[in-house]
Structure 1
Amino acid sequence: MRRLVYGMNATLDGFVSAPGDDLGWSAPSDELFAWWLDEELRVDLLLYGRRLWETMSSYWPTGDEHPDATAAQVDFARNWRETPKVVFSSTLERVGWDARLVRGDAVAEIARLRSGDGGPIRVGGATLAGAAMRAGLIDEYTVVTHPVLVGGGTPLFAAAGRRTGLDLVETRTFPGGVVMTRYATRRG
């Protein structure tokens, strides 16, 4: 069985984006960006909801071609293009960049993918992750908390609908007061 990981940047007040889908508060330091790259290199499959897919696919297919791209950004873009992706959406007509579109039952498809063989799967997007949380499918939560309060937006944890015990696995501090916490879901 594969591990399903939900990892996102978040504000201290618990949002993954500020009102208007503003992500301006989340610009990573070089050290944090390199850490995210290491995380992504360990993942065999990326799962996206529509909004996060639109954000990622609007930049990363050519992110390595930008004249000011760092070595880590070049590596991230290349890895992003090469990593298989599944996009869950009822409104998109098609997706590209080594992705396939799923219009049906997201929870059933995530459970099917998780039950197979292979390396970790990362679920991205608060709405999609919320559905996986309610179904009890997430094995690990990685929250990268930025020291900013935005007062509203898209919450990191959509209504979980259930109590879930977690065990702290790792913490790390990054420049600018950013803190990563990793938790494993307590099973049984």
Structure 2
Amino acid sequence: MRKLIFAMNLSLDGYIATPGDDLGWSVPSDELFQWWSDRVAATDLALYGRRLWDTMSSHWPTADRQPGATPADIEYARRWRDMPKVVFSSTARTVDWNTRLVTGDAVAEITRLKAEDGGPMDIGGATLAGAAMRAGLIDEYVLLTHPVLVGGGTPFFTALDKWVHLDPLETRPFPDGVVLTRYETRR
């Protein structure tokens, strides 16, 4: 059975994006960017909601060929293109870059994917991750908390019908005051 992990940058007040999807507050240090790149390399399958897919696919497929691309950008772009991905959307019509599209029941498909043999799966996108949270499918939460208050936007956590008990796994500081905290869902 695969492990499902929800990892995102978030503000201290719990948002992954401000109104209008401004992410300027979450620009990573070189060390944090390398951590994300290594995470992509270790991910067996990435699950994306449509809005996060639009953000990622608008930049990373060709980022390694852009003027001024750093070695870290080149490495991340190649890893991202090579990583198998599933996009969940009722509005997208096509996807590319080692990706398949699911237009049906996301919870049913995530449940099926978790039951397969394989390595860890990452889930990204507030709506998709929220559905997986409510269904009790997320095994690990990874919060990369930035020392900024943005005052509103897209929350990391969705409203839940019942409590989810978590056990701490790791705490790690990064430059610029970012703190990683990992929690495992208590089963």
C-alpha deviation, 1:65, in angstroms:
1.2
| 1:26-75 Cα deviation digits (max 9, x unpaired) | 10000000011111111010000000000000000011112222222211
**Is 1:38 matched up with 2:2?**
no
Q: Distance in 2 between matches of 1:72 and 1:154?
A: 28
Q: Distance in 2 between matches of 1:53 and 1:118?
A: 22
Q: Hey, what does 1:172 align to over in structure 2?
A: 172
Q: Distance in 1 between matches of 2:181 and 2:47?
A: 21
| 1:71-96 Cα deviation digits (max 9, x unpaired) | 22211100110111100000111111
Q: Hey, what does 1:118 align to over in structure 2?
A: 118
In structure 1, list runs of 5 or more residues that go unmatched: none
SS of residue matched to 1:20 = coil
Q: Distance in 1 between matches of 2:127 and 2:161?
A: 13
Q: Distance in 1 between matches of 2:21 and 2:108?
A: 28
Q: Report the AA paired with residue 122 of structure 2.
A: R
Q: Distance in 1 between matches of 2:38 and 2:160?
A: 28
Matched positions, count: 187
For residues 41-52 of structure 1, the aligned pairs below 5 Å read 41-52=41-52
Q: Report the AA paired with residue 127 of structure 1.
A: T
Q: Report the AA paired with residue 77 of structure 2.
A: A
Q: Hey, what does 1:145 align to over in structure 2?
A: 145
For residues 10-29 of structure 1, the aligned pairs below 5 Å read 10-29=10-29
Q: Distance in 2 between matches of 1:39 and 1:161?
A: 30
Q: Distance in 1 between matches of 2:156 and 2:21?
A: 13
Q: Report the AA paired with residue 169 of structure 2.
A: V
Q: Hey, what does 1:53 align to over in structure 2?
A: 53
Q: TM-score, structure 1 length as denominator?
A: 0.97
Q: Distance in 1 between matches of 2:171 and 2:39?
A: 14
Q: TM-score, structure 2 length as denominator?
A: 0.98
For residues 64-103 of structure 1, the aligned pairs below 5 Å read 64-103=64-103
C-alpha deviation, 1:165, in angstroms:
0.6
Aligned Cα RMSD in Å?
0.8
What percentage of aligned pairs have identical amino acids? 66
Q: Report the AA paired with residue 170 of structure 1.
A: E
**Is 1:162 matched up with 2:162?**
yes
